[in-house]
Amino acid sequence: AYPEQYDAGLLYPIPRAANRAPLGIEEGALPFVGEDEWHAFEVSWLNGRGKPIVAVARFRLPASSPHLIESKSWKLYLNSLNQTR
């Protein structure tokens, strides 16, 4: 079931360190640069008058962030905005 109201608690973080440690990569000393890029082809919310607004969005999370976001939780989080003013 999809959430009916905004809920930041839906986001499930996955620690990057768990996969980097076996490779000898330490947090804060990354041998690379980059980012995770998420495209949301339909993000919706309600404006102040209750009218639905729909947009396309792009989100970028730096590779240096301590966590990445589990994809299903990201989808549920964005859907929790649907009935939010």
41-79 pLDDT, tens digit per residue, is 999 999 999 999 999 999 999 999 999 999 999 999 999
**CATH assignment at residue 75:** 3.30.1130.10
Residue 80 exposed, middle or buried by CB count within 10 Å (0-12, 13-18, 19+) = buried
- Note whether residue 22 is domain-resident: no
The structural domain count of the chain equals 1
Q: Give the residue numbers spanning the domain of 70.
A: 33-85
Residues contacting 30, CB < 8 A, separation 6+ = 63, 64
- Note whether residue 27 is domain-resident: no
- Note whether residue 6 is domain-resident: no
- Note whether residue 17 is domain-resident: no
> Global pTM?
0.84
- Note whether residue 19 is domain-resident: no
Give 10-37 pLDDT, tens digit per residue: 999 999 999 999 999 998 889 999 999 9
